[in-house]
Copies of this chain bind each other. A is one copy, B any other.
Amino acid sequence: MEKTLRPVISVRIFREEKCFGPGVAALLKNIEEHHSLRSAAASMGMAYSKAWTILKASEEALGFKLLHTTTGGRHGGGAALTPEAQALLEAYYAYCAALKAAGKTLFEEHFREFL
């Protein structure tokens, strides 16, 4: 056995039910980049209908909109994140990064005998 053990931590956010997680986060990040739900979904190999469904489910569970559609402008219209979605995405990734760092330190403490 050459490589050492390492933790992989995944975070989902729940209210009463699941409302946000790595899938929706990646989708939002891609929408930010592509300015289009269709292109974002395609870039992830995800069906447009699936992307639309997970976005709507997340919006419903969160209680706020994640996307608004823009018309005209520099990108000729398309999809953009709402300010709430931008803040949520930023909070989610900052949280995951902080948790990963804490998780690495704690892993070295708890799995010392296995490393």
Contacts and interface: CB of A to CB of B under 8 A. Distances in A.
B10 A6 contact: no
A42 interface: no
A88 interface: yes
Contacts of A19: 5
B98 A99 contact: no
16 contacts: A1-B15, A5-B13, A7-B95, A8-B11, A8-B12, A8-B13, A9-B10, A13-B111, A87-B113, A88-B114, A91-B111, A91-B114, A95-B106, A99-B99, A99-B103, A102-B102
Q: How many copies does the complex hold?
A: 2
A9 B11 contact: yes
Interface of A: 1, 3-16, 18-19, 63, 87-88, 91, 94-95, 98-99, 102-103, 106-107, 109-111, 113-114
A10 B110 CA distance: 16
